[in-house]
Structure 1
């Protein structure tokens, strides 16, 4: 009888341990020690770097960061599969409705600023384009570089897949219409950069963190063109942080993270680290820019 009682106690302890481990992985409570993050390809390297730095200081916390695109990350948050969704675009109204129907309340935090960069081959003499010209190129209305002051050469376009937040942002803010069927769909920013490097007629769009190398130098083999809001505005480069901060670069955007409700516990502490002076410096080192005052107000409302 004593042996039976002993084994029953051991079994109950084992079950309690397993249940505790499962609860820990859901990220639902302030006691969580495992954070699951998924989403934007633009943000994945930055957030991996932030996670590694944070885990070095907090070995009791495990953080897993994967990409897949902004839409994939938001879908995972809606399904309750992740604690944080990285997104380089704002969440859509229909996604908010889906989330609420599933008992999820999406809350946004901006962790950095991006100057979405339009890149061409380094040997292409074109230096600047307006937003309208870029839109016409990717809609297929401008098909030869000579139409915008370049060589007599058919334009070759590289873009992202439709689950990408960058795809959605670029479509909504630049094209304001549909992409040309001739746009080659790439899996990520790095693939676009490599494709344009090897294509003298190429043009693509990527997060600024993918075109800035060590010490803030532009990646070799490509040119980041200046962009003007319209033909009456001066063109600006995203490589100057001040242009992104003050809005003179027309394709500046926030990089978001979405959580379910106001964050707490380990998730809150990690987000606070991302927004700390050290975290924002890591964003700069990764080629992005600190959160500007406008989105700092958003963060204040989301976290307090």
Structure 2
């Protein structure tokens, strides 16, 4: 009876493993890379957003790099980045100095009319999209999901009553975050451009030390 039982087990295991052995291996999933260039003050928050999005979407690789508004805009213009996140819309309109030379992002880096700026978080953060950026390799749902992460990302709030949370990045810059008041969201997305409009969302201001009562005027 022992030999019969062992024979039965062998046959059963063989029958169970046969479909697995016959099935062809699954093709490797294609990983889509989304490159984001950012100002240094936004890198910490964007990295948290990217890591959370990649956990939910393993087939998407979101790469976040800093460098400042000039590098972000230049990489975007030359196709080395898909999105450029600046500290505010003023960063792309103002004159900046690079090695003692005064340059304008709109006139010297971009050509007039070839760049679209989309303001997020009460004009504190701006997402810049170049029409010639290679969005044909990135699906609309992917980009939409990444941008929605700006709205849905939340962090533990130790100061719940005041609605303020302080984060410190590797450079030692304090990001003062107000309560995330979710508002109406409207997104119209195409492969060549992104039009995004938020209600009230993240509000954060780089500051060395918060002053008491300053947020009472904002909320």
TM superposition score category, shorter chain reference: 0.3 to 0.5
- Structure with larger Rg: 2
Please identify which structure carries the higher helix content: 1
TM-score, reference length from structure 1: 0.35
Higher relative contact order, chain-length normalized (CA < 8 Å, sep 6+): 1
Give the TM-score normalised by the residue count of structure 2: 0.47
